[in-house]
Amino acid sequence: MDSFKIEGTRKLSGTIYVSGAKNAILPVMAACLLAPGKSILRNVPNLIDLKTMSHLLRVLGARIEHNGSTMSIDAKDVCFIEAPYELVSKMRASIYVLGPLLARLKEARVSFPGGCAIGTRPVDLHLKALEALGAEITIEHGYIHAKAQQLKGADIYFEKSSVGATINTLMAAVFAKGTTRLLNAAMEPEVDSTIDLLNKMGAKISGQATTTLTIEGVDDLFPVEMTMIPDRIEAGTFLIAGALSTDPVTVKNCLPEHLTSALDKLREAGCELETGEDFITVAGPKIIKPFNLRTLPYPGFPTDLQAQFMVLAAFADGVSFIEDTIFPDRFMHVAELNRLQADIRLERNLATVKGVKAFSGAEVMATDLRASAALVLAGMVADGITTVSRIYHIDRGYDRIEEKLNSIGAKITRENG
Ligand code: EPZ
């Protein structure tokens, strides 16, 4: 298994470029199942998770090509209904095929997604919503089996804000007879971009950027071309690299308006920021101020940046408190950061981070996507050499992260294990 060997330095500067958003592309790839014909997606990076989704869509009968940053998905001959265990177990987002298969083929069999390093990851909200639309759902031999001759519009209230359940239900409801209203729907930019795609395909969805979405059922959707939004979590990850550096770093090809809560937190920590239409320049402070952070549904602070911001807090001049209300178990990075001589205490889903002057390089292990990115950031500023093992976790959601970070002065070498 590959690992990163990182030589610590505080001198990072220059411009680093953001790719298309993994969490926007995954649902959009599944949504292409709804439109017989060839859809074209642009600004699509080379990520393990996107390869897994491509494999799954091919198993269902789609034809996919990914050249450079352009992906084509031809869903004309989609006719199979089963998302197998070996693919779903590799990537939970495979659950996104459930809604489209039910809507288009009136039946789906999707392996019940397991948990992962950040939590049990239930899908009860997905299933409850599909049943409200009239689907008949049974769980048998580890598979979700959903059937519906004709889905019917309904009012659906989500007792928890869920990106996945909102998007899956949206995709199931596009052909439902009548009107569907989703109440307490998630508002993440990735939900928004999925709605943009579906409406471009001919769906009738309104209420974007609110927590109440209305879907008027239609009979057909048609293939389209669309450029994917930039990855706000990749951008936020790179901003932390700049915040830890003694020189300014510019993060390019991003949308500052998708990162409002994260930018507020950087300013609270003493960073100076300059933003434009598609860039953010960050200058780290000489003395990082401690800050408190609680993750919340969008537009609140994103749980996907919690681990990365913990690295910044670990160098603050004082004590910071970090609470994850979305994934209470998302703290696998704490023990690894403490191996680098951070001083972090954990009680349930609240981390108390006492700032230290320096990290001391060591061997650490990646456990999940965002925790791994945090370990890379930590290694970049640690004294001496840090080795991060199991970096396939990183390649799931970052396209050549070492090349991008080395372009602003990091010293990261990929070693084949
Ligand atoms: C999406 O996961 C993202 N994944 C996650 O990013 C992200 O952390 C998460 O949204 C929150 O923003 C993708 O987009 C592929 P949720 P998702 O449903 O949809 C609970 C990354 O690092 N819940 O919004 O699975 C759930 O346990 C990944 O890129 C239920 O209880 O998240 C959590 O506490 C990690 N029942 C909360 O809701 C359900 O049926 C929010 O989860 C569904 C969710």
- What's the CA-to-centroid distance between 118 and ligand 1, angstroms? 10
Q: Which of 197, 227, 257 is the last residue of a domain?
A: 227
> Which residue puts its alpha carbon closest to atom 13 of ligand 1?
23
23 lines ligand 1 (CB under 6 A): yes
Range of the domain at 136: 22-227
122 lines ligand 1 (CB under 6 A): yes
The answer on 134 and 30 residing in a single domain is yes
The answer on 271 and 377 residing in a single domain is yes
- What's the CA-to-centroid distance between 265 and ligand 1, angstroms? 22
Q: Which of 179, 207, 227 is the last residue of a domain?
A: 227
Mean pLDDT for the chain? Answer: 97
The answer on 268 and 143 residing in a single domain is no
Catalytic one of 32, 116, 254, 271: 116
Pick from 19, 23, 91, 232 the residue to mutate for probing ligand 1's pocket: most ligand atoms within 8 Å of its CB.
23
Residue pLDDT, tens place only, 18-57? 999 999 999 999 999 999 999 999 999 999 999 999 999 9
Residue pLDDT, tens place only, 173-210? 999 999 999 999 999 999 999 999 999 999 999 999 99
**Distance between CA 382 and CA 387 in Å, rounded?**
11
**Distance between CA 84 and CA 167 in Å, rounded?**
21
For the residues 334-343, what does the mean pLDDT come to?
98
For the residues 311-336, what does the mean pLDDT come to?
97
- Structural domain count, the chain: 2
Give the per-residue pLDDT at 118: 85
> Which residue puts its alpha carbon closest to atom 30 of ligand 1?
122
What are the residues whose beta carbons fall under 8 Å from the beta carbon of 303, sequence distance 6 or more?
295, 324, 326, 327, 330
What are the residues whose beta carbons fall under 8 Å from the beta carbon of 177, sequence distance 6 or more?
150, 151, 152, 153, 217
Pick from 98, 121, 372 the residue to mutate for probing ligand 1's pocket: most ligand atoms within 8 Å of its CB.
121
**With bands split at pLDDT 50, 70 and 90, how would you rate the model's confidence at 407?**
very high
Helix (H, G, I), strand (E, B) or coil at 136: strand
**Distance between CA 54 and CA 36 in Å, rounded?**
16
The answer on 242 and 176 residing in a single domain is no
What are the residues whose beta carbons fall under 8 Å from the beta carbon of 86, sequence distance 6 or more?
none
The answer on 9 and 29 residing in a single domain is no
Residue 115 token pair: 């948990």
The answer on 160 and 104 residing in a single domain is yes
Q: Which of 201, 227, 253 is the last residue of a domain?
A: 227
The answer on 39 and 169 residing in a single domain is yes
At residue 87, does pLDDT exceed 80?
yes
Give the per-residue pLDDT at 339: 97
Give the per-residue pLDDT at 158: 98
204 lines ligand 1 (CB under 6 A): no
For the residues 86-115, what does the mean pLDDT come to?
94
For the residues 235-251, what does the mean pLDDT come to?
96
118 vs 297: which has the higher pLDDT: 297
Cα separation of the two ends of the chain: 4
At residue 417, does pLDDT exceed 80?
no
CA-nearest of 280, 303, 299, 381 to 340 is 381
333 lines ligand 1 (CB under 6 A): no
Give the per-residue pLDDT at 360: 98
411 pairs with which residues across the strands?
7
Residue pLDDT, tens place only, 136-165? 999 999 999 999 999 999 999 999 999 999
Give the per-residue pLDDT at 1: 84
The answer on 355 and 324 residing in a single domain is yes
24 lines ligand 1 (CB under 6 A): no
Catalytic annotation present for 271? no
Atom of ligand 1 nearest to the CA of 163: 24
The answer on 180 and 242 residing in a single domain is no
Give the per-residue pLDDT at 271: 98
Q: Which strands, in side-by-side order, build the sheet including 279-283?
A: 14-17, 249-252, 279-283, 272-275
CATH of the domain at 280: 3.65.10.10
The answer on 86 and 137 residing in a single domain is yes
- What's the CA-to-centroid distance between 123 and ligand 1, angstroms? 9
Angle separating helix axes 332-339 and 306-313, nearest 10 degrees: 30
The answer on 177 and 59 residing in a single domain is yes
Antiparallel, parallel or unpaired: β 343-347 and 212-216 = unpaired
Give the per-residue pLDDT at 176: 98
**With bands split at pLDDT 50, 70 and 90, how would you rate the model's confidence at 331?**
very high
The answer on 243 and 383 residing in a single domain is yes
Distances (CA, A) of 206 to 119, 126, 181, 198, 289: 32, 20, 10, 11, 42
What are the residues whose beta carbons fall under 8 Å from the beta carbon of 339, sequence distance 6 or more?
362, 363, 364
**CB of 37 closer than 8 Å to CB of 30:** no
Residue pLDDT, tens place only, 110-127? 999 877 788 888 999 999
